[in-house]
Amino acid sequence: MRVDVVTIFPAYFDALDVSLLGKARERGLLVVVVHDLRDFTHDRHRTVDDTPYGGGAGMVMRPEPWGEALDHVLATGPDGPGPVESPRLVVPSPAGRPFTQALAEELAAEPWLVLACGRYEGIDQRVVDEARDRMRVDEVSLGDYVLNGGEVAALAIVEAVGRLVPGVVGNSGSLADESHVAGLLEAPSFTKPPVWREWPVPDVLVSGNHGAIARWRRDASLRRTARVRPDLVERLDPAACDAADLVQLAALGWLPTPGAHPAGFTYDPTAVAD
Ligand code: SAM
């Protein structure tokens, strides 16, 4: 996969030299090219921002350097200069659609992504609207809070997407059981020693009984999800739950919602087991 990043702070992306993504880059599984937006300005001060039309606090990123930067990225292409298929543009924004594991999986199937990192009050909206004429564009939010710039969001997106590129994570099995993959949070994990500061690991995990361990993990995952993210339980598909799941969920107060489309669960406090 090729990822182009446009930013006024290229140094943020030095972090992609280390750990699993650094190794993936060395092995050519992931090609990351970082562009300095200021290289596409033409004044002595390399200006990228200006005051907002309509007034208000803060500055807005001007469209001209962004337009030139995206023209440059598109002309370069994933395989060098020449006509190529257009990339998918991801614009981090607190006003974007939520970034989820499902979207990370969708983006991981793309051969070429471009990330546009805003600063100040954001990028002149015409940049995003004009880009939609020539490529697929997603404005994507990392969460319901405001960062100073798109760089941290872009790093999170590159990491979440990059680790799904085949070969980047050595043991692909570890990707299958993770939180959010099947709409649940993962069960808690434990390692050696078996007792630490008088805290033992759950007996079942050292029992060697693989069936019992799988059931314990599934129940712990359901309990954790119900406690921390009831919104996820509401959206679980009862058809994807086995009989033991339904018993565990019922004990936590969650019953399949009768006749709901799409199917889901509803909390009923009277169903909670003592
Ligand atoms: N004025 C904007 C608003 O209220 O929607 C916030 C601008 S923010 C200070 C500057 C930049 O940080 C944004 O253009 C975006 O690139 C990035 N950013 C801030 N919060 C973000 C979030 N939750 N998710 C993704 N990007 C974010």
Distance CA(23)–CA(30), nearest Å, equals: 9
- Which atom in ligand 1 lies closest to the alpha carbon of residue 145? 23
Topology classification of domain 195-271: Trp Operon Repressor; Chain A (1.10.1270)
CA of residue 142 to ligand 1 center, whole Å: 9
Q: What is the pLDDT along the chain (274 residues), one digit of tens a residue?
A: 999 999 999 999 999 999 999 999 999 999 999 999 999 999 999 999 999 999 999 999 999 999 999 999 999 876 655 445 789 999 999 999 999 999 999 999 999 999 999 999 999 999 999 999 999 999 999 999 999 999 999 999 999 999 999 999 988 888 888 999 999 999 999 999 999 999 999 999 999 999 999 999 999 999 999 999 999 999 999 999 999 999 999 999 999 998 888 889 999 999 888 7
Residues 6+ apart with CB under 8 A from 87: 2, 4, 73, 74, 78, 110, 112, 113, 114, 135
Pocket of ligand 1 (CB under 6 A): 92-95, 117-119, 121-122, 141-143, 145-150, 153
Domain boundaries, the chain: 2-172, 195-271
pLDDT digits (tens, 9 = 90+) for 59-73: 999 999 999 999 999
- Which atom in ligand 1 lies closest to the alpha carbon of residue 95? 5
Residues 6+ apart with CB under 8 A from 165: 1, 24, 29, 30, 108
CA of residue 39 to ligand 1 center, whole Å: 22
CA of residue 150 to ligand 1 center, whole Å: 6
CA of residue 110 to ligand 1 center, whole Å: 24
Instruction: List the CATH code of the domain at 2-172.
Output: 3.40.1280.10
